[in-house]
């Protein structure tokens, strides 16, 4: 616009000079001068319009520059806001990724726990099947032993009567004494073995019949423990930490007594141990309870009581006070977890403990309240190798331990039954050998001996056949019947895999 104004000024100046020259040169050109003046006036008017337009354009230009400056300022603010929004979005994405990772870890832990529960359930089913099979075999062995004992008693009575009738008075007295020495220990061992098998079978039957009663009793006991825990919680509020700890140990002892475990046999109380520290000194550790497991392993249980904040929480009516007391209660439990973790009971050199320690909370509602409002509490305890348990969960765990011990004792009884069966079988083999020698020596009683051997080896249900069936059922023995006895009884010699 400025260039246009300058151009117009130059044009106007040239026109004025030209018109002045023309006026001086010739008057005759007056008309032309007049016309030029008119043109000059018109050009002046156009110049004035141009100047006015220039001013308007300058005003618009200033307004446009002001608008552009405002837009630039708005653009800068918008860019700053966009950068802030981008940073916020990046932070939100980072937090979302952290939450996703935490959820994934929790899901993996849940899957691992589910797999462990499935493995334990499968193991329990396997043990139940094994127990049923052992019971069935024990029943079969008991039946065979009972029949063999009756047949043996009857056949030996007939044998003794026949021999006494055929022999002279001297041989009669001598053989009576010999038979008494042979049959007495065998008869006593058969009776002892039969009683052992019957006692084991009766014990298993009683345990099966009382299982439902035990479950109902367990449920009632759990309810009573919770009620007693609430009542004692109110009574112990304000008491010293030592008094509360003593009460927690009493509740733990009650749960142990109800679990079916026996003190000083399956569990021990206040086991003391001295361990060298990293500084070169010594430190005494004394967990509340050490539970023994098969294969020489142990499980450590330590009671921790935190009541004051929980009682104030349950008594408060104001939500602000309740929230504050709940946080204090959770903090107290977290402190117990850290304190117990620092003791590291699972690393004591005299204990073969599992990889975690049970922290027993006597008041189960207090434990459940803390876990429900702070799920990180359970995860923190798990990372520190601490398992938080209440009366019901600990009782269920101890019942499982008691069942494991019961299966262990039954297995030990089964081994003893097998050992006694093998000893009886060996005794019987020795008796059969002695009986053969007796038959060779009693030339005058050959007919009676033949009858005895027929009773021993011939006919259905003969003694040799029954004894061989016992061996084939898997009893442990060091000797075998002679092949010719098996042949006389109609039995084929069979070599077992473990012989």
**CATH number for position 368:** 3.40.1350
Task: Count other C-beta atoms under 10 Å from residue 193's C-beta.
Answer: 20
Which class for 440: exposed (0-12), middle (13-18), buried (19 or more C-beta within 10 A)? exposed
Beta-strand relationship, 273-276 and 282-285 = antiparallel
CB-based contact 453:396 (threshold 8 Å) = no
- Name the DSSP letter for residue 145: H
**In this predicted structure, what is the pLDDT of residue 331?**
87
Q: Outline where DSSP puts E strands in 212-307.
A: 267-269, 273-276, 282-285, 289-293, 297-303
**In this predicted structure, what is the pLDDT of residue 18?**
61
How far out from the chain centre does Cα 132 lie? 26
**Neighbouring residues of 127: CB distance < 8 A, sequence distance ≥ 6:** 407
Same domain, 336 and 300: yes
**Neighbouring residues of 288: CB distance < 8 A, sequence distance ≥ 6:** 249, 252, 269, 270, 301, 302, 303, 360
270 in a domain, yes or no? yes
301 in a domain, yes or no? yes
> Distance between CA 259 and CA 398 in Å, rounded?
6
> Distance between CA 43 and CA 49 in Å, rounded?
10
183 in a domain, yes or no? yes
Same domain, 338 and 417: no
402 in a domain, yes or no? no
Token code pair at residue 40: 């000059």
85 in a domain, yes or no? no
Token code pair at residue 162: 């026949």
**Neighbouring residues of 261: CB distance < 8 A, sequence distance ≥ 6:** 267, 291, 398, 401, 402, 405
Same domain, 167 and 59: no
CB-facing half-sphere around the CA of 489: CA atoms within 13 A: 24
Q: How far is CA 108 from CA 76, 101, 103, 111, 115, in A?
A: 48, 10, 9, 5, 10
> Distance between CA 213 and CA 64 in Å, rounded?
95
Q: What residue numbers bound the domain in which 337 lies?
A: 237-389
Residues written for the chain: 499
Same domain, 255 and 367: yes
Same domain, 359 and 425: no
Residue 273: strand, helix, or coil: strand
Q: What is the largest CA-CA distance in the chain?
A: 202
Same domain, 333 and 468: no
Same domain, 432 and 476: yes
pTM of the model: 0.42
Write out residues in the chain with pLDDT < 50, as ranges: none
Same domain, 296 and 346: yes
- Name the DSSP letter for residue 353: B
CB-facing half-sphere around the CA of 405: CA atoms within 13 A: 19
> Distance between CA 426 and CA 384 in Å, rounded?
57
117 in a domain, yes or no? no
**In this predicted structure, what is the pLDDT of residue 7?**
60
Residue whose C-alpha is closest to residue 177's, from 463, 438, 452: 438
Same domain, 174 and 315: no
Same domain, 381 and 243: yes
Same domain, 249 and 331: yes
Same domain, 193 and 243: no
285 in a domain, yes or no? yes
């Amino acid at each position: 616009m400025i260039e246009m104004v300058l151009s117009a000024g130059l044009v106007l100046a040239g026109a004025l000079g030209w018109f002045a020259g023309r006026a001086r040169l010739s008057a005759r050109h007056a008309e032309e001068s007049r016309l030029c003046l008119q043109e000059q006036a018109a050009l002046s008017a156009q110049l004035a319009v141009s100047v006015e337009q220039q001013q308007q354009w300058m005003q618009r230009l200033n307004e446009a520059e002001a608008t552009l400056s405002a837009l630039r300022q708005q653009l800068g603010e918008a860019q700053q806001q966009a950068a802030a929004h981008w940073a916020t979005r990046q932070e939100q994405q980072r937090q979302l990724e952290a939450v996703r990772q935490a959820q994934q870890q929790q899901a993996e832990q849940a899957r691992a726990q589910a797999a462990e529960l499935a493995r334990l359930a499968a193991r329990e089913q396997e043990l139940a099947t094994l127990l049923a099979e052992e019971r069935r075999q024990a029943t079969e062995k008991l039946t065979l032993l009972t029949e063999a004992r009756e047949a043996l008693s009857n056949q030996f009575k007939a044998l003794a009567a026949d021999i006494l009738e055929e022999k002279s008075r001297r041989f009669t007295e001598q053989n009576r004494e010999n038979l008494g020495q042979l049959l007495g220990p065998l008869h006593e061992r058969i009776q002892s073995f039969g009683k052992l098998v019957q006692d084991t079978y009766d014990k298993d039957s009683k345990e099966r019949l009382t299982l439902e009663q035990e479950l109902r009793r367990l449920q009632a006991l759990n309810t009573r423990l919770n009620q007693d825990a609430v009542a004692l919680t109110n009574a112990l509020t304000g008491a010293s930490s030592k008094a509360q700890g003593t009460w927690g140990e009493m509740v733990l002892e009650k749960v142990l007594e109800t679990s079916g475990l026996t003190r000083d046999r399956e569990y021990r109380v206040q086991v003391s141990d001295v361990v060298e520290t990293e500084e070169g000194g010594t430190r005494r550790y004394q967990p509340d309870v050490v539970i023994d497991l098969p294969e020489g392993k142990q499980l450590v249980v330590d009671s921790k009581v935190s009541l004051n904040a929980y009682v104030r929480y349950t008594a408060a009516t104001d939500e602000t006070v309740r929230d504050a007391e709940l946080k204090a209660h959770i903090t107290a439990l977290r402190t117990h977890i850290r304190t117990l973790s620092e003791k590291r009971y699972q690393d004591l050199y005299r204990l073969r403990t599992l990889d975690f320690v049970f922290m027993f909370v006597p008041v189960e509602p207090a434990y459940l309240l803390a876990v429900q409002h702070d799920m990180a509490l359970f995860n923190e305890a798990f990372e520190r190798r601490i398992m938080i348990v209440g009366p019901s969960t600990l009782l269920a765990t101890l019942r499982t331990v008691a069942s494991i011990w019961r299966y262990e004792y039954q297995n030990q009884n089964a081994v003893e039954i097998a050992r006694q069966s093998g000893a009886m079988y060996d005794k019987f083999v020795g008796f059969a050998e002695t009986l053969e020698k007796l038959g060779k020596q009693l030339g005058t009683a050959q007919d009676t001996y033949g009858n005895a051997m027929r009773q021993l080896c011939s006919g259905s249900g003969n003694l040799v056949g029954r004894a061989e069936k016992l061996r084939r059922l898997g009893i442990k023995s060091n000797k075998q019947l002679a092949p010719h006895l098996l042949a006389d009884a109609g039995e084929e010699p069979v070599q077992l895999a473990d012989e």
